[in-house]
Structure 1
Amino acid sequence: MKDLKQFNIPFVGLSEGNHDFKYIIENEFFEYFNFDEFESAILEVSLNFFKKSTMLELVFKVKGTVEVPCDITTELYHQKIKATLPLVVKFGQEYNEDNEEILILSHDAYQLNVAQYIYEMIILAIPNKRVHPKVLDGTMESETLKKLKELEVKEVKEENTAEEADPRWDKLKNLLTEKKR
C-alpha cells in the first residue's frame, strides 16, 4: 500500500522492547479501502508495539466517532467507536495470515504495514444495526418515524364468541374429543 506509507513500521531498526505509535484516522483513510458508509470519521488509534527477539506483539486500540445514518430513520448521528485488537507476529518460511490472531511474516521481512488491521478493527467495531440514540430514548421527531407509526399494525381484538362460531368447526372439534375417549 504505497499510499498508506505512514502505517509502515520498520521493525528491523527498532530496539527490543515497547514502542508506542499513534494515528489519527479520518475519511481519507477509508477512501483507500473504497469504504464510503461514513459521512465523517474522527478516530484515534494507539498501537502498543512490543518487539521480542523471535516475535512481535501488537495491541491496537481505537476510540472516537463516525457519523453514520440510522437504519430506522436515515438521520445522521455520531456513533461512538471503542475497540481493541491484539495481534501476534511470528516469523516463518513464508507469509501466512490464515489465523486472525497470529500473522506469520517471512524471515526476510523488514517492515509491517498495519493499515489493514486498523481498518478491519474499526469496521468490526460498528454495530450491525445502527440506531440513532434519540430513537432509543423516544425523543426523535422525524417524518420517517411518523410514517412508521401510521403504518404500524394495530392489535386485532378477537370478537369471536360462541354464537358467532361456525357450526362446522364445532363438529370437527367433536371428532377430536370423541377420538380421545
Structure 2
Amino acid sequence: MKLLKEFTIPFVGLKIGQHLFEYNIDQAFFEHFEYKEFNNVNIKVDVVFEKKTTLLELHFKTSGFVNINCDLTNEPFNQTIENEFELVVKFGNEYNDENIDILIVPHGTYEINIQQYIYELIVLAVPIKRLHPGVKDGTLHSEILEKLEELSPKLKENKDTNEGIDPRWNTLKKLLTDK
C-alpha cells in the first residue's frame, strides 16, 4: 500500500521535546485503505510526538464520529469515536513491529509514517455490535423494527392459567401439596 505523505513525520529536524501534530480524518482516508464499512467519517486525531535522545514517544488521541449502519435495522447513524494509544519508537538493528506498543526501526531512520496506527485506532474504536441509539431508547420507528416485533415469539402474560394443560398434570400437582 502506498504511504500517504501527510502522515509521515520527519523527526530528524525536530528539537528534543514535545511536538503536536493534528490530523482531520475523512472518508477519503478509509478509501485509501479500501475499507468500506463507514458511510461518512469526521474524526480529529491529535498526536503528541515527544522526541528524546534515545527514543520517540507518540500519544494518539482521537475524537469525532463515524456514520455506520445499524446491525439490527440497517439505518445509518453517527457513532461517537474516542480512543487513545501510546507508541514508543526505539532504534535497533532491524525493523520490528511485533509488539503492539513498541516499534523498533533501524538506526539511521529519519522519518516515521503513522497512517496505519491511526487507521487501526479508529477501526478498533467502533463497537462490535452497532446498534442505533433510537433502538435502545425506543424512539426509532422503522419498518424493520415493526416486522421484527411482529415476528418475535410472544410470551404468555398469565402463566397461571391452566388452558391447554393436560388435566392429568393437575392431579399430579396435588400430590406435592398433600404432604
Return the TM-score normalized by structure 1.
0.87
Structure-2 change in CA distance of 1:3 and 1:92 (3 Å):
closer
> In the TM superposition, what are the counterparts of 1:94-133 in structure 2 within 5 Å?
94-133=94-133
Q: How many angstroms apart in 1 are the aligned matches of 2:31 and 2:59?
A: 24
Alpha-carbon distance in structure 2 between the residues aligned to 1:92 and 1:120? 24
How many angstroms does 1:13 deviate by? 1.1
Amino acid corresponding to residue 49 of structure 1 in structure 2: F
* 3-state secondary structure, aligned to 2:94: coil
Contact map agreement 2:3 2:115 (CA 8 A) in 1? no
Q: Distance in 2 between matches of 1:8 and 1:139?
A: 44
Deviation by residue 1:77-124 (Cα, 9 ceiling, x = unmatched): 011000001100001000000000000011021100000000000001
**CA contact 2:3–2:113 (8 Å) conserved in 1:** no
| Cα distance in 2 for residues equivalent to 1:100 and 1:3 | 20
Instruction: Verify: 1:81 aligned to 2:85, yes or no.
Output: no
Tell me by how many angstroms 1:3 deviates.
4.9
Residue 12 of structure 2 corresponds to residue 12 of structure 1: yes
Corresponding letter in the other structure for 1:52: K
Q: CA deviation at 1:133?
A: 0.7
Correspondence for 2:167 among 163, 166, 169: 163
- Provide the secondary structure at the position in 2 that maps to 1:12: coil
CA distance in 1, matches of 2:87, 2:60: 8
- How far 1:132 moved relative to its partner? 0.7
Question: How many positions carry a matched residue from both structures?
Answer: 169
Q: Deviations over 1:131-175 (max 9, x none)?
A: 11111111110000000000111125584657234x9xx8xxxxx
SS at match of 1:116: helix
What is the aligned-residue RMSD (CA, Å)?
2.0
Shift of 1:32: 1.2
Cα distance in structure 2, aligned partners of 1:162 and 1:25? 66
TM-score where L is the length of structure 2? 0.88
| Alignment partner, residue 63 of structure 1 | 63
Q: 1:142 to 1:8 in 2, by over 3 A?
A: same
Residue identity (%)? 49
Partner Cα separation in structure 1 for residue 166 and residue 94 of structure 2: 78
Which 5+ residue runs of structure 2 have no aligned equivalent? 173-179
1:2 is displaced (CA, Å) by 4.3
In the alignment, the residues of structure 2 paired with residue 115 and residue 3 of structure 1 have an alpha-carbon distance, to the nearest angstrom, of 8
Task: Give the structure 2 partner of residue 53 of structure 1.
Answer: 53
**Could you tell me how far 1:57 is from its partner in structure 2?**
0.4
SS of the residue 2:120 aligns to: helix
- Stretches of structure 1 that go unaligned for 5 or more consecutive residues are 171-181
Runs of 4+ in 1 over 6 A off after TM superposition: none
